[in-house]
């Protein structure tokens, strides 16, 4: 039987939705218990091939790439702003935020694939994810949470957020 090791790096997967506070609170609590660092990750759907083709008809490839990069930077700024607001409202939860939040990352792709790939390539010890992207009565888990739990090689903590 393998020995359980403490979590050093926790990946908090967020969709920036209104129901993510309990999930983030749980990531903070786990980081404190394990003296771990948190990576905040948001996956952005890439421009599809149809969108890429339409844009390339009107803009050079370089400009399309710049627009994508600018969008990613805006999402990172939104994440920083939400973190700041969250900590202002829930002071007791974020008192150590500067030491707990190691990185804010945005990556393009299918959210479940992005989360699993990021966890593997960044030596993540635990993934913290919400049950649903939006409120749902369809089942216990949304499609992203279900896929991540079924395919991840990293332990996953699924937090109710519906």
Segments forming the whole domain that contains residue 74: 9-159
Is the confidence at residue 1, as pLDDT, over 60? no
Beta bridge partners of 12: 40, 128
Is the confidence at residue 108, as pLDDT, over 70? yes
Report which of 139, 144, 154 is spatially closest to residue 15, judged by C-alpha positions.
Answer: 144
Q: What is the number of structural domains in the chain?
A: 1
* Cβ atoms of 41 and 149 closer than 8 Å: no
Query: What is the structure's pLDDT at 93?
Result: 62
The residue that leads in pLDDT, 96 or 102, is 102
Instruction: Give domain status of residue 115, yes or no.
Output: yes
Model confidence over 75-98: pLDDT tens digits?
Answer: 889 888 888 887 778 766 666 555
Query: What is the structure's pLDDT at 138?
Result: 60
Model confidence over 39-53: pLDDT tens digits?
Answer: 999 988 776 677 667
Instruction: Give domain status of residue 108, yes or no.
Output: yes
Run of H or E including 37 = strand 37-44
Instruction: Give domain status of residue 2, yes or no.
Output: no
Percent of the chain at pLDDT exceeding 90: 40
CATH number of the domain that 80 lies in? Answer: 3.40.50.620
Model confidence over 109-133: pLDDT tens digits?
Answer: 899 999 999 999 999 999 999 998 6
Is the confidence at residue 135, as pLDDT, over 90? no
Instruction: Give domain status of residue 1, yes or no.
Output: no
Is the confidence at residue 160, as pLDDT, over 70? yes
Instruction: Give domain status of residue 3, yes or no.
Output: no
Confidence label for 13 from pLDDT (cuts 50, 70 and 90): very high
């Amino acid at each position: 039987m393998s020995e359980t090791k403490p979590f050093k790096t926790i990946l908090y997967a967020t969709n920036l939705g209104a129901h993510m506070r309990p999930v983030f609170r749980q990531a903070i609590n786990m980081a404190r218990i394990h003296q771990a660092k948190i990576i905040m990750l948001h996956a952005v759907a890439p421009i599809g091939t149809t969108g890429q083709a339409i844009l390339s008809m009107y803009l050079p490839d370089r400009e399309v790439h710049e627009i994508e990069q600018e969008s990613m930077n805006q999402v990172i700024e939104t994440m920083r702003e939400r973190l700041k607001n969250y900590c202002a409202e829930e002071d007791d939860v974020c008192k150590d935020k500067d030491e707990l939040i190691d990185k804010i990352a945005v990556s393009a792709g299918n959210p479940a694939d992005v989360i699993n790939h990021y966890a593997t390539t960044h030596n993540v010890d635990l993934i913290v994810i919400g049950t649903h992207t939006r409120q749902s009565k369809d089942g216990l888990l949304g499609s992203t949470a279900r896929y991540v739990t079924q395919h991840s090689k990293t332990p996953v903590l699924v937090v109710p957020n519906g």
